[in-house]
Structures are given as C-alpha cells and as structure tokens.
Amino acid sequence: MKARIAVLPGDGIGPEVVGHTTRLLSVIADKHGHDFTFVEGMIGGIAIDETGDPLPEETIKICEEADAILLGAVGGPKWSDPTATVQPERGLLGLRQHFGLFANLRPVKTYPALLEHAPLRAELLRDVDILFVRELVSGIYFGDRREQGSGEESHDTMRYTRAEVEQVANVAFRAAQGRRKKLCSVDKANVLASMRLWRRTVVDVSEDYADVELEHLLVDAATMHLLTRPGSFDVIVAGNMFGDILSDEASVLAGSLGMLPSASLRSDQFGLYEPVHGSAPDIAGQGKANPIGMFLSAALLLRYSLQLEAEASSIEAAIDAVLADGLRTADIVGQGGEAVSTEAFAEAVIAKL
Ligand code: IPM
Ligand code: MG
C-alpha cells in the first residue's frame, strides 16, 4: 500500500523518538511491501523560533495532503514564560481543532515484565487493560477564554453541546462493544452544568447500546478507583480536561508515561498519532527517552488510518518481546537495573520485527 505520512517531530525528545519511529515504519514498509512517504513539518516551539507561529500554514498543508500525522511532542522551558503571547501547545491544540479530531484514544495496559518494579502491588495491576476515550476538541480547552496580560482576572469556560458529547460517547460505546462491554463515564455532574449535560447525554446514547454496561464516576472518585481497582475498567470516556489528567495518572499503571500511545481520530480514517508524554526537556538529547509511547502510536497509525492490523500487531509484539528480554530505558529500569539508550532500545525492537 502507498501512504503519505506527515511527520512533526516538535520539541524536546520529540525529534529523537520520532526519528526512531520513521525508521521503524520504513522497516515495516520494506518487510511488507508498502510504500510510505514521510513529509516533515514544523510545530510547537521550534516553529515559533523559525516562523513566529506554532502551527505554520505550511505544516497544515503538509498534514492536509497526508493520510495520517505522526507527532512527537511540543513545548519546553524556552517558551514557557507566562507572559508570552503564544505557547507551543497552541500548535498542537490548533492541529487537533483544525482537523476536528474529536476522539482521543489512549490505551493503557500493563506488561508482565514490569510488574515487579511497579509502584502499585502487582496483583492490582495484572489484569489492567483500559481504553481511555478523551473528548479532544471542546470542553474547557476550547471554551470562551479571557486572558488579561497584566490584569487581575482571567477565565476559561467549560462548555459542551449535546452533539459533541454524543459523538464521543458513540465512539466509546462502540469501542466497548468490541472489548469487554463495559463503559465508565467520568464527569463532575454534582457541580458543573456542562457535566450534567454530559451525563444526561451519555445516558441517552446508552439506549442504543443495551449490551454495554454503563457506570458513572465523578472525576475525583475516578482518580481513586483507578488506583484501587484498575483491573475493573474496560473503556473510560471523559471530557477534554478530565481525560488529560486521568490518562497521565493511568500511565503509572503501565509503568511510565513514556509507554502510552494515543490516536486522535474523527469519523473517517484520518488521524493524528502522538505519545501521551510531553517533550521532557530535562532529558532531551541525552538518549534517555523511552520510545515505546511513540512506537505504539505508530502501531495505532497502521491500525486505524491504514488498516494494517498485522503490521500494527507486529510492533506491539516486538515491544513485548524486548521488555520480556529485560531491556529497559531509564524511566522503567527499577532498582538496581541498568538502562540502555533510546537508540539501543529502538534497535532491539526493530530487530525483533
Ligand atoms: C496531552 C498534553 C496536551 C494536552 C498539552 C501538551 C497541550 O498534555 O496531549 O495530554 O493537554 O492535551
Ligand atoms: Mg496530557
């Protein structure tokens, strides 16, 4: 198959993990007779430095001409001055919004090989296999905002429409139907009007999915349940901000934030694929980054945008095998272990293919 992939490395460890990932995808292409073209664009802090804009027109054009987008990470201390008028993060948010990527899928699973070093007891973690479905183009991230540079007051607005909740709820229910048929909806319906709309709408949508067992949790309780009974969750659907927070929390279950991939989708096959982790400026350029989150994001790209299931699974299996062999990056090394570099880890995964 022929595919055109927009590649946006971004900032911090973004370029490192993306570089190994395009290599991985090239090896997959060679092995399976595909023809992947990679077209690189700028986003985030580097784009601000070069063009003044975190999401240059040229980058949007590259993405529009592509079948899917592969993105590293954006942001860093260089651009985090609170008085700055433009943040690197705006590039990423603008991209999600421009393409209407409303459904952000963040799968979280545990690895037998990592259980003994986990911060939670191994018996709690053994059966963890959760799919977060985070609403990505609305809610408080995109509601009315007023920022007074030097003033005494600013505000953000959490806002949802019924149609917005319906479309992400439908994605979540359908995902649950293909899995263990359980959906947990997270909200703050006891306090926020927008979240009462969220809950009412999810209940209404549930009528079309009689085979899926629906549970509601308030977000504060959800943070606790995620740690006390993580194995009981199947699919979790949440608004933009709650989904952001809960998915970082859930990364602890997997062993490290460096391990989680994500797919940001709309109703067709187009999608943006990026690790859940950020640009990790503290370890950038030192060969310490964990490439797993980015590799698994590439697997999701193959699965969802290109329908290459066997190729996607081969990446996941290669990662399982390398972890089972005992190879570790710095973030998952555990006590007394020895970490290999990003490059050595990436090469080991590629060799397993
Ligand atoms: C994420 C990140 C982003 C978000 C930032 C970088 C804007 O934390 O993808 O989870 O908040 O959505
Ligand atoms: Mg986040």
Closest CA to 269 of 69, 92, 96: 69
Ligand 1 atom 8, closest CA: 244
Q: Which atom of ligand 1 is nearest to the CA of 75?
A: 6
Share of the chain above pLDDT 70, in %: 99
Q: What is the pLDDT of residues 72-92, one digit of tens each?
A: 999 999 999 888 889 999 999
Q: Which atom of ligand 1 is nearest to the CA of 136?
A: 12
Q: What is the pLDDT of residues 250-287, one digit of tens each?
A: 999 998 999 999 999 999 999 999 999 999 999 999 99
Average pLDDT, the chain: 96
3-state class of 225 per DSSP?
Answer: helix
| CA 107/CA 257 separation, integer angstroms | 12
Ligand 1 atom 6, closest CA: 89
Does residue 119 have a pLDDT over 90?
Answer: no
Q: Give the residue-averaged pLDDT of 51-71.
A: 98
pLDDT of residue 148: 76
Q: Give 115-137 as a DSSP string.
A: GGG-SS-HHHHTT-EEEEEEE-S
The confidence band for 301, taking pLDDT boundaries of 50, 70 and 90, is very high
Q: Give the residue-averaged pLDDT of 320-339.
A: 90
Nearest bound ligand to the CA of residue 106: 1
The confidence band for 61, taking pLDDT boundaries of 50, 70 and 90, is very high
Does residue 116 have a pLDDT over 90?
Answer: no
Which of 8, 89, 247, 277 should be mutated for ligand 1, with most atoms under 8 A from CB?
89
3-state class of 14 per DSSP?
Answer: helix
Residue 188 known to be catalytic:
yes
Ligand 1 within 6 A of CB of 234: no
Q: Give 70-98 as a DSSP string.
A: EEEE---GGG--TT-S--THHHHHHHHHH
Does residue 66 have a pLDDT over 90?
Answer: yes
Nearest bound ligand to the CA of residue 71: 1
Provide the b/e sequence for 218-242 (b: ≥16 CB within 10 Å): bbeebbebbeeebeebbbbbbbbbb
> pTM for the full model?
0.96
- Tell me 257's DSSP state: G
Q: How far is the CA of 7 from the centre of ligand 1 (A)?
A: 18
Closest CA to 185 of 149, 160, 150, 153: 160
Ligand 1 atom 12, closest CA: 244
pLDDT of residue 162: 98
pLDDT of residue 187: 98
Residue 220 known to be catalytic:
yes
Q: How far is the CA of 319 from the centre of ligand 1 (A)?
A: 25
Q: What is the pLDDT of residues 129-182, one digit of tens each?
A: 999 999 999 999 999 999 876 678 999 999 999 999 999 999 999 999 999 999
pLDDT of residue 98: 98
Residue 141 known to be catalytic:
yes
The confidence band for 223, taking pLDDT boundaries of 50, 70 and 90, is very high
Among candidate residues 11, 67, 111, 141, the one labeled active-site is 141
pLDDT of residue 85: 85
Nearest bound ligand to the CA of residue 249: 2
Which of 103-112, 133-142, 260-269, 336-345 shows the lowest per-residue confidence on average (mean pLDDT)? 336-345
pLDDT of residue 324: 93
Ligand 1 within 6 A of CB of 244: yes
pLDDT of residue 118: 83
Q: How far is the CA of 265 from the centre of ligand 2 (A)?
A: 17
The confidence band for 214, taking pLDDT boundaries of 50, 70 and 90, is very high
